[in-house]
Structure 1
């Protein structure tokens, strides 16, 4: 199951100031990332595709880093995901995500 990692900047404030809301976020995370049918790697790649389609720079970067660090996801696997983004969301989100992928790989 997915360990407790949240990328939103505001989560640290929620954890400190509203622990009951934070606990709900943790439980939701556990309920979503179960690995029951789709393994966690596949779920991670779906999350990457969604963040790329939304053109969220920070989230794209974090999802790519996490996928590589946690699962050893390759550039080719990420590009397969981004091809779907190109088809479903168009060129601008696709190109942004490709740029971020290369920046991450160069770090």
Structure 2
């Protein structure tokens, strides 16, 4: 289900030139996304909320695409996540995330 896909542009260089660091990140990813108490879809939506709150366009887009592709997350489910972003992080990250969501779904 989950893939070893990291959205930071520098990770390709790390994988090539510093495989020991890359493998550590892979293991950290596995430890974080366990699905023990929260299922993986919920964890993915939390990751989306964090990237949206940080106003990280590229990561938001990737997280949305991943949630829709891997879990068939609907626009309404993602908007529910973004409602929390609006409440906790304000209008600018919310509107940016909504723009990205509509670019992906229209």
TM beyond 0.5: yes
1:3 Cα shift?
Answer: 2.2
CA distance in 2, matches of 1:21, 1:55: 27
Structure 1 segments (4+ residues) deviating >6 Å: none
Checking the alignment, whether the CA contact within 8 Å between 1:52 and 1:82 is kept in structure 2 is yes
Matched, 1:101 2:104: no
Task: Give ranges in structure 1 of 5+ residues lacking alignment.
Answer: none
Cα-Cα RMSD: 0.8
Task: Give ranges in structure 2 of 5+ residues lacking alignment.
Answer: none
Q: What TM-score does the superposition give when structure 1 sets the normalisation length? A: 0.97
The C-alpha deviation readout for 1:7-38, integer Å capped at 9, x for no partner, is: 11110100000000000000000000000110
CA distance in 2, matches of 1:2, 1:93: 26
Q: What TM-score does the superposition give when structure 2 sets the normalisation length? A: 0.97
CA distance in 2, matches of 1:72, 1:2: 14
Checking the alignment, whether the CA contact within 8 Å between 1:33 and 1:40 is kept in structure 2 is yes
SS at match of 2:29: helix
What corresponds to 1:28 in structure 2?
28
Q: Say how many residue pairs are matched.
A: 106
